[in-house]
Amino acid sequence: MYQDLKEFAQSRLFQRILMGISAVVLTLLIFQAGMFVGYRKAAFTYRFGDNYYRAFGNAGPGERFFASRGGPFPGGLIEGHGVAGKIVSINLPTFVVTGPDDIEKVILIGDGTRIRRFDTTLSSSDLKVDDFTVILGSPNDNSQIEAKLIRVLPPPPNFEELNIRKP
Please give the backbone phi and psi of residue 3, each rounded to the nearest 5 degrees, phi first.
-65, -40
Predicted confidence band at 147 (pLDDT cuts at 50, 70, 90)?
A: very high
Mean pLDDT of the chain: 78
What does the alpha-carbon distance between residue 87 and residue 108 come to, in Å, rounded to a whole number? 13
What percent of the chain stands above pLDDT 70? 72
pLDDT at 54: 54
With CA atoms as reference, report the closest residue to 84 among 71, 96, 97, 67: 97
pLDDT at 106 over 80: yes
Q: Which residue has the higher pLDDT, 73 or 48?
A: 48
CATH architecture of structural domain 80-162: Beta Barrel (2.40)
Q: How far apart are the first and last CA of the chain?
A: 74
Contacts of 121 (CB under 8 A, 6+ apart): 114, 115
> How do the domains of the chain map onto residue ranges?
80-162
pLDDT at 58: 47
What does the alpha-carbon distance between residue 81 and residue 85 come to, in Å, rounded to a whole number? 14
pLDDT at 163 over 80: no
